[in-house]
Amino acid sequence: MKPLSFAYRIFPQITRKGGDLSVQSQRLETTDIYKSAVFLCNGGRLAGVRFKERKRGIVSFLIEGDGILQVDLDYRNGSAQVNALQLRHTLNHLRGKLGTSINL
């Protein structure tokens, strides 16, 4: 497996239903804006933007949704597919979110 160039963490949302544990949705946190855009284009939802290291300007994106872990695997394997126009719009949206986070 290739070493990861960007930090990310995975947060499964686990709930208890009648004694059984089930995973409702998955969360992933990454500092890679392109990876975040691919997740959003494949059904993910932007759950938050936060500073990891304010002095260095490192920002992380918290993405959640069903199937995010599979999209992550596809992205790392180079087999994730996305509409190019949608990817461009999503990248612009994320860059806009960065601008509003920095100006706060």
Q: Does residue 43 have a pLDDT over 80?
A: yes
Per residue in 59-76, pLDDT (tens digit) is: 899 999 998 999 999 999
Burial, 98: exposed, middle or buried (Cβ in 10 Å; 0-12, 13-18, 19+)? middle
Residue 16: which pLDDT band, with cuts at 50, 70 and 90?
very low
Question: Other CB atoms closer than 10 Å to residue 4's CB: what's the count?
Answer: 11
